[in-house]
Amino acid sequence: MVKPIVKDIVFLKQRSLPAGPADAPAGEDLLDTLKANRERCVGLAANMIGIRRRIIVVQTGLAPIVMFNPVITAHSPESYETEEGCLSLTGTRRTRRWEKVEVSYTDRSGKAHELTLSGFQAQIVQHEIDHCNGILI
């Protein structure tokens, strides 16, 4: 189900709680909401739709990936400054991102995965994991 985007900064700055199998419907809602906003959005975190769980969805190519409890396990020493926007915030802001990240997560069925991303895809994951940690750009 497509959910409205939360813009309450106090809510968004709260750390999200671990996600489990019972949170699978939230993953579906994130996918639906991402698809509904595909013209202006490449990733979402569950707190952006009012759910304080560590779930993100990122557009990494042909199909978006839903990640439960994503964690950056390694990153490149190289970083760069960039400008990002966010559906929950007005305008864009400068931030610094690593060029390459390794992320571990579980899928909706609880199966563990590891993924290495670079460039814009790594940037998306970092932005959404920041949301899970209550960090806004």
Q: Catalytic one among 39, 81, 84, 128?
A: 128
Catalytic (active site) residue 128: yes
User: Token digits for 106?
Assistant: 């579980």
Q: Which residues contact 29 (CB under 8 A, 6 or more apart)?
A: 1, 2, 3, 49, 51
Q: How far apart are CA 44 and CA 62, in angstroms?
A: 16
Q: How far is CA 79 from the centre of its chain?
A: 19
Residues annotated as part of the active site: 128
